[in-house]
Structure 1
Amino acid sequence: MLLTSTLQAGIFAVLTLTSHSLGSMVYEGGTIISFNETTEELQVLRNASLLIENDRITGLFEGYLQAPANVTRVDATDKIISPGFIDTHHHLWQTAFKTIGSNTSLADYFQKFGEYGPAEEHFTTDDLYVGQLTGALELLYEGTTTVLDHAHASFSDATTDACVNATFDSGVRTFYAHAIHIIPNGYSWESQISKLQSLAADPRFAQTDPDSLISLGLGWDAFYNAPETNITELWNNTRSLNLSVVTTHFLGGPFSDTNSPTALHSYEWLNDTVPIVFSHASFMDYGDADLLRQTNQYISTTPESELHFGHNHPDAHLIQDQAALGVDCHFTYSSSMVQQARLWLQTLRWPNYLVPLQNWQVPKNNPMSVQQAFYLITRAGGLALRRDDLGVIKVGAKADFAIFRTDAPNMIGWSDPVAAIILHSDAGDIEDVLVDGKYVRKGGKLVYPDYTALRKRLTKSAERIQRIWTEEIEWPALSGVLTEGAAPYGEAEDIDTQRGDGTGY
């Protein structure tokens, strides 16, 4: 049975529907936020249908599809079908800290919550497993289908295994950037390299299979001070093990220029097929930005993190053409990529408005669109990871998408689906989420088996960890510098919200 759809801008397909596997499904009559490869722009399809077969999108059609009986049909009337969101920077293991970092700074984070803090002493492998797993499920619940996890709970072989196992159990598409680092517990360089190699040999990663749900990468933050022999060894392993991505933290400015694009380029890491993602890149200079454009490498801006922790992003607006968005630390704020895009949209709008205002002029245009914000959490994430089949709805793309209901009070009255998602939706509006063509959230609920038992395990873990962090550890006052080459500490003035004496802090 041959069905030919109306061709529109090259995005509709001609498909032969004669025999379909049990993995065939069509969402019918919805509003689809698709991607037009000719214009490189989002394209909204109304009253349209989306066909998936196994793990791929195989058709986009106007109206309803006259599909064979063995194709599962799902009514998407009055619903928005969005590509799944892509989070290009996260530390998924940190869930147990949730809410105790609500007023922390980056300097405080380094001491208490990061990879060099006391977590390696106090987190058991079960703490890390349930934290990693619930962190990943939180992403799925909010429509994020792909994450680049800078996995730095690699305190030992055992803690690494706990996080890896949780990642495979979660169902989220993960670029698992296994962190190698110098930590004070005796976990040697040789042992860490050996563990990286053993992970690459784990058949679950399937490093040579482009369809693998979980891909192995490298997280490394010591380009600035490690022996050159170590850096060479890491690069040789990156190539020989076919690692999918390398990610590194880069701040610049008063935080020092550690791990900058210039530094990595000096080792010839940028001009290669391996994607390099620079998280934050807060104080990037022109030379670094130029290198990113020349080598087509990306930064990951984490809007709420940079505002919350204080590393800020004064130069990020100048390199958004080589940027995608991320979350960073879900224990301190929302992990919703929609929330990150919404915050970033308004954060970038206000300084551009300010330019004419400071010249006593009234701005007549809006400097950033909702389409651009949406692009940064979808297509741009796929490009950062050099995966043309992620973050888009088009024929041949991975079947990773989210279906939004539009009947709640915050959504009714919409006409622009992109604006509806970016500026009006919340996680409660998401009805279904699919990764690789499989449901991970259905009918508004996670499909993870026995989530109640997992929730209880995480709650017990968090109670123990938070008691240690808030009652048992005596934290020394910060003094000196944050890290090698950084500027001295300074004091930020508290905001005053209280009449009379005191600030209300």
Structure 2
Amino acid sequence: MKGRLYHRFLSAASLVHIFLVPFISAGSILLEEGTVISFDDASQTPKVLRNTSILITDDRIAAIFDSSNPSGVPIPSDIEGVSVQAAIFDSSNTSGVSIPTDTERVSVRGKIISPGFIDTHKHGWQTAYKTIASNTTLAEYVVRYGEFSQAETVFTSEDIYLGQLVGIYEALNAGVTSILEHAHSTFSREKASASLNASMDGGVRMWWCYTFHDISNGFSVEDQIENFKELKKDERLEESTVEVGIAYDGFSTAAKEEVQSVMDLAKISNISALTTHYLGGPWFFANSPKLLHDLDFLNTSFPIVFSHSSFITPEDASLLRQTNQYISTTPESKMHSGQDHPTTPFIQDQAALGVDTHFTYSADIVTQARLWLQSTRLEFFRQTLNRWRIPRNSPMSVNQAFLLATRAGGLALRRPDVGVIQVGAKADIVVFDGSSPNMLGWVDPVAAVILHSNVGDVEHVLVNGEWRKKDRQLVLKDGLNMTRDEVEEKFLESAKRIQEVWMQTPLPELEGEFQPGVPYADADVEDVVRGIGTGY
């Protein structure tokens, strides 16, 4: 983008709670009389609070209280790591909670209040590819669309900025309030800056992980390390919901000197997270927990998230549990692109959900949770049926799917104050319209969200206590020097140019071997039309 266009335009939840901080009248929002999906630390399950109100002060949840309790006395409670001070009570208020006089009151009666959803694996810059790779496989993606394709020369800084920004808007529209971004559009200083600027301008909570990779344009890993250090000094990050981390896939393939330099950088840079792709099995991509353990780099002070982990081993799983590191399972991408995920259901206690690249997949984490829930159920049902037995129970519950989409993401990033609705948690909140035709008649709000909701039911979204979607309309971050229409117009121009380049680029010929000893092969093809069929 030319000039300044992409520069900044810019623990237990009880029925009644009070966040013990001084109330500041500015920035208070009261969500009144809704059904809240909170979290119970004792049972480690979602806790449903009906006819409940939530007071938001600044960036945190200040109080959760029973709207109908005429003599409710707030019960002090906080989550781990959040400091508290003296409470302020107002006996004239029927709830016993002091509500600042200029609080914005929003009725959520009949609606479902959920924690914001967390996407722990994303490549937002690829938004411009949307719909041109609807039948692509992972093998084709790697050489045609990924970070080592012609993308590094075709995408301009403006393209990176617009794709990242519009991708964030798609996520926010669906109620995704937190993203772990594997930012592998770091093709140059300008393009890395464009990605980070868009992330700050988008208004989402993000762990933006700078990718170090050996690309062909002369921008070396050494150059990237210096660029990373420069970007991390950006003063705007101090007031932003964006934190900087590292993405690196070279643990198993790069020279030892490069691997060591990245690990050393991670240890001294106070990063928010590190993420790496790990598939295993016939895919190799062996940036496994075992490998990082052997490098003495698994038991770290910062979270490490292993994306996909399709063929994770028992040893890997044991190491994750010992070091409290997580995987990000991406259900739709693993089914769509041929990765598969035969062993990941066995490590769900150290797992969260991700989208991958939403030029092909839905940015809606609820959809990912639903796909994961039903595919996991099918896999374990099938094991029983294949023994000629009839299952008497369900292998996985909607509560577990909901936790994967919310709290597990926060735990993966070692942030117990995101992905939950508890006193002291960050005010990242989604409100679903419970009266929509597809949700009408719900009793269990968790089941309603996981099994019956769609993006159209997301009525309100708050991130860090600020509106990002209100009354089903996106709310752009203050300071953005473009309207939504202008953003969309510029993005469409960018996407059209990019898509035309790929439309004119021949498909790769996948012959021989993908990796030594792992040949390509044709999958059986099914058709819904008899005879010659529809093909592709």
- TM bucket (normalised to shorter chain) is over 0.9
Deviation at residue 453 of structure 1 after TM alignment? 1.0
Q: CA deviation at 1:11?
A: 5.8
Matched, 1:149 2:160: no
Distance 1:87 1:17, change over 3 A: closer
Partners of 2:460 and 2:17 lie apart in 1 by 24
Q: Which residue in 2 is equivalent to 1:5?
A: none
- 1:300, 1:326 within 8 Å by CA — same for their partners in 2? yes
SS in 1 for 2:305: strand
Give the match for residue 74 of structure 1. Answer: 106
Cα 1:400–1:503, aligned 2, differ >3 Å: closer, same or farther?
same
How far 1:18 moved relative to its partner? Answer: 7.6
Deviation at 1:257, TM superposition (A): 5.0
Match of 1:458 among 491, 498, 506: 491
CA displacement at 1:479 relative to structure 2: 2.4
Q: Specify which of 504, 507, 519 is matched with residue 488 of structure 1.
A: 519
Q: What's the counterpart of residue 21 of structure 1?
A: 25
Aligned to 2:509: 477
- Secondary structure at the aligned position of 2:328 is classed as strand
2:58 is aligned with 1:54 = yes
Task: Give CA deviations for 1:39-95 in whole Å, capped at 9, x if unaligned.
Answer: 222100000011111000111101166734222211110011000000000000001
Residue 283 of structure 1 aligns to a residue whose secondary structure is: coil
Residues 24-51 of structure 1: CA distance to partner in whole angstroms, max 9, x if unpaired? 1111100000012232221000000111
Q: Equivalent residue for 2:533?
A: 502
CA contact (8 A) 1:10 1:38 kept: no
Offset of 1:332 from its aligned partner? 0.6
Contact 1:256-1:486 at 8 Å conserved across structures: no
Segments of structure 2 that go 5 or more residues without pairing to the other structure are 1-11, 69-96, 477-481
Partner of 2:355 in structure 1? 327
1:348 to 352, 363, 376: 376
The number of aligned residues is: 493
**CA spacing shift, 1:504–1:225, aligned 2, 3 Å:** closer
Does 2:220 correspond to 1:188? yes
- Paired with 1:431 and 1:173, the residues of 2 have a C-alpha distance of 19
TM (norm. structure 1) is 0.94
Q: Which amino acid aligns with 1:191?
A: D
Give the C-alpha shift of residue 233 in structure 1: 1.6
Q: 1:500/1:142 Cα in 2 relative to 1: closer, same or farther (>3 Å)?
A: same
In 2, distance between residues paired with 1:187 and 1:178? 14
* Identity rate, percent: 49
Task: State the Cα distance separating 1:204 from its structure 2 match.
Answer: 2.2
**Aligned amino acid, residue 465 of structure 2:** G
Report the secondary structure of 1:178's partner residue: strand
Counterpart secondary structure, 1:457 = helix
Deviations 1:447-493 (CA, angstroms, capped at 9, x unpaired): 1261111111111111111111012x23441223335x572212111
Change (3 A) 1:263 1:431: same
Question: What 5-or-longer segments of structure 1 have no aligned partner?
Answer: 1-7
Conservation of the 8 A alpha-carbon contact between 1:256 and 1:487:
no
| Pair 9,401 (structure 1): closer, same or farther in 2 beyond 3 Å | closer
SS at match of 2:348: helix
Q: What is the CA distance between 1:503 and its match in structure 2? A: 5.5
Q: Does 1:166 align with 2:198?
A: yes
Answer whether contact 2:15 2:66 (CA < 8 A) is retained: no
Structure 1 residues 408 and 190: alpha-carbon distance in aligned structure 2, compared to 1, 3 A threshold:
same
How many angstroms does 1:9 deviate by?
Answer: 6.3
State the TM-score, normalized to the length of structure 2. 0.89
Cα distance between partner residues in 2 of 1:495 and 1:271:
46
1:266 to 294, 301, 324: 294
> Post-superposition shift, 1:14?
4.1
Matched letter for residue 434 of structure 2: T
State the superposition RMSD in angstroms: 1.8
Which AA in structure 1 matches 2:49? L
